[in-house]
C-alpha cells in the first residue's frame, strides 16, 4: 500500500497509524491527526482495493456485507506492512495507535479482534464487526476509543454496540462516545478522541 510518514516533533509520544474511509487516501485523516496529537509521528496508508474508483482497505459485496476472505488477507497485509515500516522509521509498534474512520476503522477493529500481533490501541470512528466467528485470545491490556452515530445510515447502532461488546467480553478497555449524527465524523468526536489520547500519556 502507498503510505506517507511524518516524523513526530516529540518521538516519545505514541505514533498514529491512519486508516481512511472509503474513497479517501493517505492524506484524508492528516487534519484529524493534527487535532488529536499534533506532536506525534504519523504513518498513513492508502487502501489498495478499488471500488468503482474509490480506495478501500478490503472488498465488500454489493449489499454492503464484508468479503471476509479479502478482509482476512488485507488485515494480514496491513499488519505485516505496519511492522516493517515501524522498523524502518524507528517506531515502537506496541505503542502505535490505529486511527480509523469507517472502512479504515473496520480493518483496524478486525486486526484487534483476530490477530495476536494486531493493534492494541485504537481510535475507531464509526466501526462495526465483520460478523465472522472470532478467536478467543484475551485482549487484556488493549484500550480502544470508539465513536458511533445513533442515526448512522451505514453502520447501525446495533452494529456499533456489537463491536463494543466483542471487545469488552475479551477484557479490552473501551471508551465509547455516541452522537445523534449520521456517518460523518464530528468535531466533538475528534475532541473526545484528543482527550482520550492525552489521558494515555
Number of alpha helices (DSSP H) and beta strands (DSSP E) in the chain: 5, 9
3-state DSSP: the chain helix, strand, coil percent, rounded to 5? 35, 20, 45
CA distance 41 to 90: 10
Using DSSP, state whether 77 is helix, strand or coil.
helix
Of 102, 126, 130, 160, the active-site residue reads 102
Q: Is 20 assigned a catalytic role? A: no
Query: Residue 35 — left, alpha, or beta (φ > 0 → left; ψ -120 to 50 → alpha)?
Result: alpha
Q: Dihedral angle at the C-alpha atoms of 149, 152, 154, 155, nearest 10 degrees?
A: 40
Residue with cell 465483520: 130
Q: Is 183 assigned a catalytic role? A: yes
Given a contact cutoff of 8 angstroms between Cβ atoms, the answer to whether 80 and 93 are in contact is no
Q: Is 165 assigned a catalytic role? A: no
Q: Vertex 143, ends 11 and 150: CA angle to 5°?
A: 115
Given a contact cutoff of 8 angstroms between Cβ atoms, the answer to whether 63 and 29 are in contact is no
Of 28, 126, 130, 152, the active-site residue reads 152
Using DSSP, state whether 91 is helix, strand or coil.
coil
Q: Which residues are catalytic?
A: 102, 152, 183
Amino acid at each position: 500500500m502507498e503510505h506517507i510518514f511524518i516524523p513526530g516533533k516529540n518521538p516519545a509520544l505514541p505514533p498514529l497509524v491512519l486508516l481512511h474511509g472509503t474513497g479517501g487516501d493517505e492524506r484524508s485523516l492528516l487534519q484529524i491527526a493534527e487535532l488529536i496529537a499534533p506532536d506525534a509521528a504519523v504513518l498513513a496508508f492508502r487502501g489498495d482495493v478499488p471500488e468503482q474508483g474509490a480506495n478501500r482497505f478490503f472488498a465488500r459485496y454489493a449489499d454492503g456485507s464484508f468479503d471476509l476472505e479479502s478482509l482476512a488477507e488485507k488485515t494480514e497485509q496491513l499488519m505485516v506492512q505496519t511492522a516493517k515500516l515501524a522498523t524502518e522509521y524507528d517506531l515502537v509498534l506496541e505503542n502505535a495507535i490505529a486511527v480509523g474512520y469507517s472502512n479504515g476503522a473496520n480493518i483496524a477493529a478486525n486486526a484487534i479482534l483476530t490477530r495476536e500481533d494486531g493493534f492494541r490501541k485504537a481510535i475507531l470512528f464509526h466501526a462495526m464487526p465483520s460478523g465472522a466467528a472470532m478467536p478467543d485470545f484475551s485482549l487484556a491490556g488493549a484500550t480502544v476509543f470508539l465513536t458511533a452515530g445513533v442515526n448512522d445510515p451505514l453502520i447501525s447502532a446495533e452494529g456499533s454496540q456489537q463491536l463494543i461488546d466483542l471487545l469488552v467480553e475479551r477484557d479490552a478497555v473501551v471508551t465509547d462516545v455516541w452522537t445523534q449524527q449520521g456517518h460523518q465524523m464530528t468535531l466533538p468526536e475528534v475532541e473526545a478522541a484528543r482527550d482520550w489520547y492525552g489521558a494515555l500519556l
